[in-house]
Amino acid sequence: LYVANNLNEMTSYMAYPLFETVKATDKWLLLFLYSFQIYADFSGYSAIALGLALLFGYRLPENFNRPYIATSIADFWRRWHISLSSWLRNYLYIPLGGNKHGKARTYFNLMATMALGGLWHGAAVSYLVWGFMHGLLLAIERRFVDRLDGAKSPLLNAARAFVVFFAVSLLWILFKLPDFAHAAAYFVGLFSSDEVPNPPKIYRSLALAYALPVILQHFIVPGRPKGSSEAGSMSWLLKFFVTAIIGILALKALGGSDDPLLPVTTDDRNYHVAVRYVDQPSHRMVIVGSSLSVRLSEDYFTSPNIENLALAGG
């Protein structure tokens, strides 16, 4: 959760209208960081639930199993939010007929199930489209890609895992931005070559430091026997390395947090303001620092409610 919270400080740039100030290359970086953030957030809460259950003598099933090494969308859903995907399969997909009534009906059942799964997350067009697109990808896989299952080529499996991670990451835009118009604008911005005046600075080294624990957990920590702990399946050298990473992040936490910076234009100077977070429904910014009156360009807000600006001359 510490990793997720700190990645959230960076991915807050993905909120509207902040992403309009971000370069296309940084939009891609933020997109992948959000993939790591949402995994660290969801799996972190699940790990807490598993641990609390163990304290009372209950062993709950794993809810996440390194989903970003999945080699297909179907494999992703066997690894991601396993309790939800199992529920969707048992109580929606199978009652709809599953794969028992021909290919066309199977494809429809996949898309309908996942679309309803999207709406389960929230009553918004973005969630509906997110679920439908996952269902569409599942149908396309079943029609064209299933023949590749069981491939023994490490290079082919690595390529498939990259494609799946890329596709899943693109669809996370719809999760991050429930307003479909904003999600569409962010997607278009990924492929825009337009120059962005006075863009915010994204600290890539810091981003890598916070993404590294997720990467380590996926690609270095080995699979463990059922019933064993994750730490118990590591070698002593890997335990030392992971402990060192945790120590570095803990020291960073003691040193304070770096708040995202939003470009602000006054009559005579350019500034950046440190943004704690953006309340998306109202676009109200909560900003840390000292009080000072500045004027935001109409490109950012029409009637902003700004409190406590922290300025860094630009």
pLDDT of residue 222: 56
> Among residues 116, 74, 67, which one has the least CA distance to residue 91?
116
pLDDT of residue 104: 92
- Rounded CA-CA distance 271/150 in Å is 55
Contact 79, 66 (CB under 8 A): yes
* 270-279 and 311-313 strand pairing: antiparallel
Task: Give the residue numbers annotated as catalytic, written as ranges.
Answer: 121
Q: Which residues of the chain have pLDDT under 50?
A: 225-229, 231-232, 256-314
- Rounded CA-CA distance 72/163 in Å is 8
> Among residues 16, 17, 52, 15, which one has the least CA distance to residue 34?
15
pLDDT of residue 263: 44
pLDDT of residue 258: 47
Contact 82, 61 (CB under 8 A): yes
pLDDT of residue 101: 87
Domain ranges of the chain: 1-201
Contact 307, 287 (CB under 8 A): yes
> Among residues 37, 46, 5, which one has the least CA distance to residue 175?
37
φ/ψ (deg, to 5) at 263 = -65, 135
pLDDT of residue 148: 62
Contact 164, 148 (CB under 8 A): no
Which residues, at least 6 apart from 225, have a Cβ–Cβ distance to it below 8 Å? 233
For residue 275, give the 3-state DSSP assignment.
Answer: strand
Which residues, at least 6 apart from 310, have a Cβ–Cβ distance to it below 8 Å? 259, 273, 274, 287, 288, 289, 290
Identify the residue whose tokens are 């997109």.
31
φ/ψ (deg, to 5) at 269 = -145, 160
- Rounded CA-CA distance 311/268 in Å is 14
How many residues does the structure list for the chain?
A: 314
pLDDT of residue 210: 84
Q: What is the pLDDT of residues 54-82, one digit of tens each?
A: 999 999 988 999 999 999 999 999 999 99
Q: What is the pLDDT of residues 198-219, one digit of tens each?
A: 778 787 888 888 888 888 888 7
pTM: 0.74
